[in-house]
Structure 1
Amino acid sequence: MNVYDFKVKTARGEQRSLAEYRGKVLLIVNTATQCGLAPQFKDLQRMHEKYQNEGLAILGFPCNQFADQEPVKDSEMAQTCQLNFGVTFPLHGKINVNGPDADPLYKYLKQEAPGFLGTRIKWNFTKFLVDAEGRVVKRFSPTTKPMKIEAQEKAK
């Protein structure tokens, strides 16, 4: 099993297979527009612009499980992120990342790369790096800035 085995809901409510990203490196992030870490949207967008033609795809998964920081409806999500942060990378339908209703993709990501709290997501903007084979490589904390991830990966 790998990330490509999952289907996710787009912000428009359509099903999309992550197999569409086969061969790309993925940075999967649970997002929230009213989170104190929301300025990371701008760095994620910079990474998207800089590396999308080199095989990096950034995938945002809005989540309202942490202090109701994602009140925007799915239908308004992309527009809100575009206007407020310049986001053009894919944002999906709102999901749960913890608990019994956690999205299957996030259950898998957490199992493959447990964090400080084990298999729970601590907060919005937790990031998972997935290699071009669909394997979860690393988990980054919410406070890890996207540009630090870029620097770490470039140093390898």
Structure 2
Amino acid sequence: MSAPHAGPKAKSIYDFTVTDIDGKKVSLKKFKGHVMLVVNVASKCGLTPQYKGLQALYEEKKKQGVVLLGFPANNFNGQEPGTEAEIKQFCTANYGVTFPMFSKISVKGDDQADLYKWLIAQSDRPTDDIEWNFAKFVIGKDGKVFKRLTPRDTPDSEAVRKAIDEALAAK
């Protein structure tokens, strides 16, 4: 019997292939050498306005090698009920999102995506489920989890900015 969040035996995030919001397979090797901010997002959540801050952070930091990856998830009170097309339209029309968005996944429970099993297992809280929408993982340039942040850590918070800047500075 394995630990609750043992997750896949991936060595880094680059071992995962996911489906983007348009239905295309994307190897996360595409982002090798970047600092990534992986966020589970939702369109009908009290935290949904974080999309604005996430887009601003992406625009500010992308030239430094930071990429945001949005993963819609409907795990919390049905707050992401839409189809991929509806989610994409909502994010573009309301928040001008240009960072990579992916197809809807499950971030907790029996159908939890392997990527999220791995993210949690590699974090400093390997037995804690994702708390809510807009939980964040900073991934270092080496493809490993650098820092796990909570949904309440907004994109403009000191915690998020410090983690990204530290990951950018790391060798």
The correspondence for 2:100, drawn from 90, 102, 120, is 90
Residue 122 (1) aligns with residue 113 (2): no
Secondary structure of the residue that 2:60 maps to in structure 1? helix
Contact 1:110 1:120 (8 Å CA) reproduced: yes
Structure 1 residue 153 displacement after superposition = 4.2
Equivalent in the alignment of 1:54: 64
Q: Which amino acid aligns with 1:79?
A: Q
Residue 63 (1) aligns with residue 49 (2): no
Report the Cα distance in structure 2 between the residues aligned to 1:79 and 1:124, rounded to whole angstroms: 19
Contact 1:8 1:18 (8 Å CA) reproduced: yes
Q: Under a length normalisation based on structure 2, what TM-score does the superposition of the two structures give?
A: 0.86
4+ runs deviating over 3 angstroms: 151-156
Contact 1:28 1:127 (8 Å CA) reproduced: yes
Alignment RMSD (CA, Å): 1.6
What is the CA deviation profile of residues 60-112 of structure 1, one whole-angstrom value per residue up to 9, with x for unaligned ones?
00000100001110122222101111211111000000112111110000101
Structure 1 residue 151 displacement after superposition = 4.4
Equivalent in the alignment of 2:7: none
The correspondence for 1:77, drawn from 58, 67, 87, is 87
- Identity across matched positions, percent: 40
Contact 1:77 1:91 (8 Å CA) reproduced: no
Equivalent in the alignment of 2:146: 137
Report the Cα distance in structure 1 between the residues aligned to 2:35 and 2:164, rounded to whole angstroms: 11
Equivalent in the alignment of 1:150: 161
- The answer for unaligned runs of 5 or more in structure 2 is 1-10
Secondary structure of the residue that 1:26 maps to in structure 2? strand
Q: Which amino acid aligns with 1:120?
A: D
- The answer for unaligned runs of 5 or more in structure 1 is none
Structure 1 residue 118 displacement after superposition = 2.7
Residue 11 (1) aligns with residue 21 (2): yes
Report the Cα distance in structure 1 between the residues aligned to 2:58 and 2:165, rounded to whole angstroms: 15
Secondary structure of the residue that 1:77 maps to in structure 2? helix
Contact 1:43 1:146 (8 Å CA) reproduced: yes
Report the Cα distance in structure 1 between the residues aligned to 2:146 and 2:162, rounded to whole angstroms: 16
Report the Cα distance in structure 2 between the residues aligned to 1:56 and 1:68, rounded to whole angstroms: 30
Q: What is the total number of aligned residue pairs between the two structures?
A: 155
Q: Which amino acid aligns with 1:57?
A: V
Report the Cα distance in structure 2 between the residues aligned to 1:64 and 1:54, rounded to whole angstroms: 31
Q: Under a length normalisation based on structure 1, what TM-score does the superposition of the two structures give?
A: 0.93
The correspondence for 1:33, drawn from 32, 35, 43, is 43
Report the Cα distance in structure 2 between the residues aligned to 1:61 and 1:152, rounded to whole angstroms: 20
Q: Which amino acid aligns with 2:161?
A: E
Equivalent in the alignment of 2:32: 22
